[in-house]
Amino acid sequence: MPCYILTDNLKSQRLIKKVLLDSIFFESPSALLHALGRTRQGQVIILDSCIRGFELAGIQTAQLIRQRDTDAQIIMISDNAQMAMRCFEAHVGLLDFIIKRDFNSAFFDRLLRAVATAKLNIHHIYELRPVSIRLPDGRTSRLFDLTRIIYITTESGSHHLIVHEADHQFRIRSSMKEVETLHEHFQRVHTSFIVNTSYLNAYYPNEHYLTLVNGQRIPVSRNYAGHLRDVLRWSPKKPEQPQLIHNK
């Protein structure tokens, strides 16, 4: 899922592109709005508060976006901390307001967290309907909502697995071999990891890991890489490039 970014600052474009690989930049509000008008609702949008010297450009653009799309995940970046109150008063429903200043590590850490949250929000809004699934738990079983399971890991030194949801973790007595065959969305990628493919964001075959829409990084072992590529219909022509999974 790409990020739509409005900024006419070339330094901002250059630095942000290094951390948000799948990003599309626009230097005018009209160009951004035109592009958004040709996509489905519910996109990740980053707005610079000031465009071509006009301090309210970001807020006014956010207002126009919000009129069309109530599900858009809007993040505002600014050099001016006072703009935060102006954004609040405008009631445009920002996910976050981030001061960019020197583009330090704190800025990029917060930006990446905001983008991960935005993608997860969109994922829940558009693509997740409750799907009941029973996972074995010792001599019995336990009912889960498949759409809330992000990944499953082994617990070191025990016969238990940890089921990871967005805001909870659950411990069950089972094995990876038992669980990995229970649903087509369960994909074994490592001796210790099963991922829910609905949450896949990008696969980096050359670095042997994948990322999920919540920003979580998961290792991919060679034993499971081939099958993962088959599942994702991975093309081996450019293995040094990440495969970005765009959820429709």
Choose among 196, 193, 45: nearest CA to 119.
Answer: 45
Contact 165, 149 (CB under 8 A): yes
- pLDDT value, residue 242: 46
N residues, the chain: 248
* CATH 2.40.50.1020 is the classification of domain 132-244: yes
Mean pLDDT of 111-134: 86
Eight-state DSSP code of residue 29: H
Q: How far apart are the C-alpha atoms of 23 and 218, rounded to whole Å?
A: 22
Cα–Cα separations (whole angstroms), residue 120 to 6, 71, 128, 216, 220: 21, 12, 11, 11, 22
Confidence of residue 233 (pLDDT cuts 50, 70, 90): low
CATH 2.40.50.1020 placement within the chain = 132-244
The 10s digit of each residue's pLDDT in 63-105 is: 999 999 989 999 999 999 889 999 888 889 999 999 987 788 8
* Confidence class for position 237, pLDDT limits 50, 70, 90: very low
Is residue 234 predicted with pLDDT exceeding 80? Answer: no
Q: Backbone phi, then psi, for 20, in 5-degree steps?
A: -115, 85
In a 13 Å sphere around the CA of 35, the CA atoms on its Cβ side amount to 18
Over range 24-29, report the average pLDDT. 96
User: Which residue type occupies 97?
Assistant: F
> Domain 3-127 is classified in which CATH homologous superfamily?
Response regulator (3.40.50.2300)
Q: How far is CA 117 from CA 3, 59, 213, 216, 248, in A?
A: 13, 21, 8, 11, 18
CATH 3.40.50.2300, the chain: domain bounds: 3-127
Burial track 62-82 (b if 16+ CB lie within 10 A, e otherwise):
bebbbeebeebbbbbbbeeee
User: Is the pTM for the entire model greater than 0.85?
Assistant: no
Q: Cα(75)–Cα(92) distance, rounded to whole angstroms?
A: 10
